[in-house]
Amino acid sequence: MSFDGQLPPKTRLLRAAAELLANSGGAAVSTRQITQLAGVTAPTLYHHFGDKEGLFDAVVAAGFEEYVAGERDFAPSGHPLEDIRRMWDNHVQFGLNQPELYLVMFGNIRPESRPAIVADAEALMEEMLNKAAVAGQLNVQPREAARSILAANVGVTLMLIAETAAERNLELSTMTRDAMIFAVSADQASGTPEDSGKSSVVVAAIALNAALQASHSDQLSSSELKLFLEWLHRISNSSTS
C-alpha cells in the first residue's frame, strides 16, 4: 500500500501525490499524507519541489503530458475537422477519467498563476486548426477558432464532471462540439443572414494566410510580407462588424 520500493524519493513523492489526488474525491490532500505514503519525511518534499504547489504542478505537468500524448495519437486522418472532433472527445474523456487532475488544471484557474497550461492546450488545437485553414475549411482565424472551441470544450467538460456519473449525458458534448466546429467551418450554406454567409474570399484569405505562415515563403521581402499579411488579416476579419 506504500511506495517504499527502491524508487528514488522524488518519484515516490510524485506517485503518492498523484494517487492521493486521484482518490481524494475532492477533499484536500495534506503534505503529511503524501510524505507518509511515499515513506519520506517532510523536508524531502520541500527539497525536491520547494512547495506543496510545486509538487502539484509537477503532477499536473505529468498529467498534461499524458493528455498531450493522447491528443497527438490521433493526428493524421487527412480530415482536419474530423481530427478536431476527436481532440474534443479526447479532451472530455481525459477530464472524466481524471476529474481531480482536470479540475486542478482547468478549474482552479487564477488570473496570474496558471494559464501556461491552457496556452499549451490552445496551441495544440490551433496547430490542428491550421491544417484546416490551409485546406480552406475555416471561416475564422485559427487562433480565434482554437480559443473559442477550447473554451467551450472546457465548459462542457466541467459541467459533465459536476454531474454524477449516472445522469451524465454525453450528448451535451457532441452537440456543443458540432455546433462549435460548424460555426468556424467554411462549408456552411451561404446566404444565411445571421452568422454565416461569409464570402468565399474571406475563407481564401484565411487559407492563404495560414499557408504562408506555415511555409515561411521568401518570395517576398520581410517588410513586403508583413504588409501583405496585414492586408490579408484585414480581409479575413472584414466580417466582424
Task: Please give the residue ranges that form the binding site for a copy of itself (CB under 8 A).
Answer: 25-26, 99, 103, 106-115, 118, 140, 144, 147-148, 150-156, 158-159, 161-164, 171-172, 175-176, 178-180, 182-185, 187-196, 240
Q: If 0-12 CB within 10 Å is exposed, 13-18 middle and 19+ buried, where does residue 87 land? A: buried
Three-class SS of 170-196: CHHHHHHHHHHHHHHECCCCCCCCCCC
Quote the CA–CA distance of 144 and 119 in Å, as a whole number.
Answer: 13
- The site partner of 213 among DNA, a copy of itself, none (C-beta below 5 to 8 Å per kind) is none
* Closer residue to DNA (CB): 41 or 113: 41
* Closer residue to a copy of itself (CB): 101 or 140: 140
Output the smallest distance, CB 25 to DNA, in A. Answer: 15
- The site partner of 29 among a copy of itself, DNA, none (C-beta below 5 to 8 Å per kind) is DNA
- For the record, the C-alpha cell of 99 comes out as 476529474
Task: List residues binding DNA (CB under 7 A).
Answer: 8-10, 28-33, 40-44, 46-48, 50-53
- The site partner of 48 among DNA, a copy of itself, none (C-beta below 5 to 8 Å per kind) is DNA
Alpha-carbon torsion (172, 174, 179, 180), positive or negative: positive
- The site partner of 10 among DNA, a copy of itself, none (C-beta below 5 to 8 Å per kind) is DNA
Quote the CA–CA distance of 6 and 8 in Å, as a whole number.
Answer: 6
Quote the CA–CA distance of 185 and 150 in Å, as a whole number.
Answer: 15
Output the smallest distance, CB 12 to a copy of itself, in A. Answer: 27
Quote the CA–CA distance of 106 and 120 in Å, as a whole number.
Answer: 12
* Closer residue to DNA (CB): 23 or 238: 23
Do residues 184 and 149 touch, judged by C-beta distance below 8 A? yes
